[in-house]
Each structure stands twice: as C-alpha cells, then as structure tokens.
Amino acid sequence: MIPVRETSVLIAGGGPVGLALAADLGWRGVECLLVEQTDGRITTPKMQEVNVRTMEFCRRWGVADRVMHCPFPDDHPMDVVFVTSLGGYELARMERPARKHQTPGPFSPVNLQICSQTWFDPILRELAQSYSGVTLCHRCRLETFETHEGGVTAEIVHLDTGERETVKARFLAACDGANSSIRQALGIKLVGSEVLSRPVHMFFRTADLVGKLGLRRGTFYLAIDRNGLWANVRVIDPAAGLWRLMVLDTPADLDPNRIDCNAHLRRALGRDIDVEWVGVSAWTRRGVVAERYSQGPVHLLGDAVHQLSPTGALGMNTGIADAVDLSWKLAAVIEGWGGDGLLASYDAERRPVGERNVRAATGYFESHRDFERGIEAIEDATPEGDEIRQRVGEQLLRDIARMFRTLGVQLGYRYDPSPICVPDGTPPPADEPETYVPTARSGSRAPHVWLDDGRSTLDLFGRGFVLLRLGPEAPDPSLLLGTATERKMPLQVVTLHEPEVLERYDRRLVLVRPDGHVAWRGNEMPADVGALVDRVRGA
C-alpha cells in the first residue's frame, strides 16, 4: 500500500521561489512539504542579483546579513562596464559601489546585493529548514495530482529509492519553473513572446582573468564590437575564478553540442586565454505571463507563471514577491480568519505585476537588440574610432544601463485595483521604472522611514496586520482593534510620533497588511469598521 502523508501546503519545486514560499510559510507557523526533484546543488547559477525588495524580505526573515556576507568579495566593485572586448576599449562604466562602500539609500534600509544562486538558495533552504513545520524533500518529484473539494491529492516519488507516497494537502503551490508540468496539466496558457532570442551560456573558470587582461574590475561586462551588442560576461565567484559568458542570440538550428566556446570567448576577451569550461547551455529568452495564477486549490508562482528576459534581473525577484503575497493569504485561510475571497486576490494582485515586469524586462532586451548598427570602426585606433566610442559610450549609459536603474520597478509595484485594498481616492504616482516615488497610497508598498529607535518602519510589518497611528491627533483605534479581534484577524496597533512618518504616510491611520502593503488609510476611523475588516481579509 502506498503510504499517505498529510500537510497544509504541498510545494512543488525547490528553486528560489519554492524555497522562499516554504520559508515564509514556516516563518508564519504554517505546515508545508516541499518536493524538489534535484538534490538542490547548483553548479551553473542563473540568478545573481537579489534586488532591494527581496533584500527587504530577507531582512524580515532575519537573513539579510547572511546574503550581504555571502562569498562575493565585499571589496569587489559591482560596476557595469561596456567594452569592445574585455581586453579592448572600455566604452563606458556605470559605477556601483562594492558592498563595503554601500550605504542605504533614502528609500530602503537595505541595498541590492550580488549573491549568486549558489549561495542564495542554500540561505533560503536553511531558513526554511529552521522551522519545525517545514519539510523539505530533495530528490523527490511530484508526478501526478488531482484536485477535489477538500484540496489536492498528489503522488510523489523518491527518486533514489523509487518509493512512492500519496500526499493530501489543502493547497498545492506550483513553483516548478518555466516548464511547469502543473501549469500544463491545468491547461493554463502563457501569453506573450515565446521567443525573444536564443542565448547560450558558457561557464568557465580561470584564475586572475582581471590581471591577465589588465582589466579594471567590475562585475558585469557588456561587449559591443563592430557587429553591435552581442554578449555579456559576468564574474560569478571572483575568488574561485568562475565566470559566465552569455551570447545574446544564436541561430534557431544551433546544435548546443557543437558550440565553439573558445571562438566566442576569444571574441569576448579580444585574445586567447586558456580556461576550464564548466558548463554550456542553450535556452530561450521569453517574455510571457500565464493567463491565470490560480485554479481551485492550486496556486502558481515564479517562472511557472512568468518568464522574463534576465535583462533587469527581475525574474526571481518577481517570483519571491509572488511567494510573499501568497503566503500570508494561505496562512490566513488555514488559520481560519481569511475570507473566501482572499486567495482570489493573489491572481488579481500579482498577475498585473508579472505583466508589468515582463514588459520592463522585454523593453530592456529590445534596446539591446535594436542597439545601433553602423559602428564598424568602433575598435579602430583612429579619430573616427575615438568619436564612435565616445558617442556609443554615452548612448550605452543612457539606453542600455537603464536595466540597472530599476528602483521604480523594484519598489513601485502596487496592487491597484485590488479586491482587498480600499482606494483612498488619491491619484497614483507615475509608474516610472527608474524612479521610485514613496507613497502610502492604498495598495502600495508601505514606505520606509527610519524611526528614532534605529528601526525602519518596514521592521514593524510582517506577522499580522499593523495599524499605524501617526501624529498627536491619531484617532482611538479601539473600534478597529475590537472588530479585528472578533473576526480573529491578527492586528497590532503601533503609535508613532516621528513627524517624518506622518509626512510620508500622509494620513493619521494606516492599515498595513502582513506582506507590508497598505490596505487602507484615513484620517478618521471609517464609518463601517466591520466592512473595512471584512474587505481586507477577503471576506
């Protein structure tokens, strides 16, 4: 007989998004089982940039320091450098300070970090494992599932032993990546550009490439030669000499086994250098979003529902924000205070953000693809070459480097409209990719302000709802507190006297959700407090 296991949430896929969901559910005290078909080791990592919003979640989970102290050297500049080849001319440089020279900007207590998936996934894994309610099962694949009134019944197989188990869960979270078999089984289609380009990754190891090429240090080099912008080279682990060369596009009929890595590397470096090849893979760059994120008790997250061009480094970061949005809603429904409509708001809130971020990432890639032709003399040591390098360098910083100026994309996403946020009647600020405009408008990320005790306002949010009472005239919260208690909705009241908080939040009462987004704000208690509480808990 096949053994049966029961859990509240079955998570299929232990990439960064599945791990983040397991960690956030564990942090909330929700029981879950994560199955991952691989052993979890990553030798050729894709993700490198953990953006500001994800770092804010890491701060909430208590692992931001671990990410900041990952083995990427803290004195290595994160500069983005445009070159004709790494051994050739430097055309332009966008300076991004090394970790040890970073200071927090005005809008967040944390900064973007470079932390390869090789290091980041294990941090999330250990975090998830630290909660007694979380079970991680590697070398274990979800094979089939069916949905029914009470939830999901799935069959999983332990790949090393062939042993099978039946799992009964209230919810299934599909974090099974771009080729999601769960999405396919549910017949959910992807909408958008199925093929933007066909890149090839080549991972190589070589000691002291910087010294050998006489290179000024940076982290991400983009190569522009007489044929245009064709590749990038990223240092992944400077201490181990691990690098990745990405050719942006290759012919559709390319046989990945016949890629001449050395020829591509010679073009990228401008000379022959002996390297050890670590891995080569061809993949398809897409810009697609699923037509729905939820179906019955199944909710889909991460690459399973959105695939972004890596230009802009938004893929995993968008997926982790999906996990944070879904997690508290699952917890609320499992704990019994979330209403019937709460989980429907996951699709309503996150799918438009997926579409927005895919649009941004695709736009960044299109500016690569359309980058100026007619620069045949760019590598020539002539006055014409000088003139082209000057002009192209300026253009690169203006157009291509936009994909590294994305604070507005990272922090400015908002749930508007959302069935569980109450509009406050104010007009939305412009959604500018490069510029984040802090606002506590309903649906937006509650903004960061430093408090007198050294904490950030963001440190107040996470566990349940928080009602901020701001300024000397903040109304009595008893009615709201009493109603929330009646409905068993966790709510904490926090009174703050710092004028900067009132100024930035711009209302005397601000109700912040467990994910750190504003659900409602006003200067007075609403006439119908019960209706407010029911709306924000999806009842």
Sites of contact with ligand FAD (CB under 6 A): 12-18, 35-38, 46-49, 141-142, 175-178, 181, 302-303, 310, 313-317, 319
Question: Closer to ligand FAD at the Cβ: 157 or 378?
Answer: 157
Q: In the complex, what is the shortest distance from the CB of residue 36 to ligand FAD, in angstroms, rounded to a whole number?
A: 5
Distance CA 330, CA 302 (A): 16
Contact 345, 537 (CB under 8 A): no
DSSP conformational letter for 414:
B
Q: In the complex, what is the shortest distance from the CB of residue 427 to ligand FAD, in angstroms, rounded to a whole number?
A: 30
Q: In the complex, what is the shortest distance from the CB of residue 143 to ligand FAD, in angstroms, rounded to a whole number?
A: 7
Q: Is 178 in a helix, a strand, or coil?
A: coil
Contact 53, 411 (CB under 8 A): yes
Q: State phi, psi for 174 to the nearest 5 degrees.
A: -90, 105
Question: Closer to ligand FAD at the Cβ: 46 or 504?
Answer: 46
Question: Closer to ligand FAD at the Cβ: 14 or 477?
Answer: 14
Q: In the complex, what is the shortest distance from the CB of residue 312 to ligand FAD, in angstroms, rounded to a whole number?
A: 8
User: Which of these, 309, 302, 326, 243, lies nearest to 277 by C-alpha position?
Assistant: 243
Question: Closer to ligand FAD at the Cβ: 178 or 467?
Answer: 178
Instruction: Mention every residue, 6+ apart, whose C-beta is less than 8 A from residue 135.
Output: 7, 32, 33, 34
Instruction: Kindly report whether the peptide bond that precedes residue 417 is cis, defined as omega within 30 degrees of 0.
Output: yes
Question: Closer to ligand FAD at the Cβ: 46 or 217?
Answer: 46
Q: In the complex, what is the shortest distance from the CB of residue 314 to ligand FAD, in angstroms, rounded to a whole number?
A: 6
Q: In the complex, what is the shortest distance from the CB of residue 20 to ligand FAD, in angstroms, rounded to a whole number?
A: 8
Q: In the complex, what is the shortest distance from the CB of residue 56 to ligand FAD, in angstroms, rounded to a whole number?
A: 14
Question: Closer to ligand FAD at the Cβ: 358 or 449?
Answer: 358
Percent of the chain as helix, strand, coil, to the nearest 5: 30, 25, 40
Question: Closer to ligand FAD at the Cβ: 155 or 424?
Answer: 155
Question: Closer to ligand FAD at the Cβ: 173 or 334?
Answer: 173
Q: State phi, psi for 4 to the nearest 5 degrees.
A: -115, 135
Question: Closer to ligand FAD at the Cβ: 140 or 421?
Answer: 140
CA angle, 465 then 470 then 476, to 5°: 75
Quote the distance between the C-alpha of residue 74 and its chain's center: 22
CB environment 321-338: b (16+ within 10 A), e (fewer): bbbbbbbbbbbbbbeebb
Q: In the complex, what is the shortest distance from the CB of residue 509 to ligand FAD, in angstroms, rounded to a whole number?
A: 35
Q: In the complex, what is the shortest distance from the CB of residue 21 to ligand FAD, in angstroms, rounded to a whole number?
A: 9
Q: What's the one-letter identity of residue 168?
A: K
Which tokens sit at 307? 């695939």
Based on DSSP, count helices (H) and strands (E) in the chain, helices before strands: 14, 24
Distance CA 58, CA 123 (A): 10
Angle of helix 16-27 relative to helix 315-335, nearest 10 degrees, comes to 30
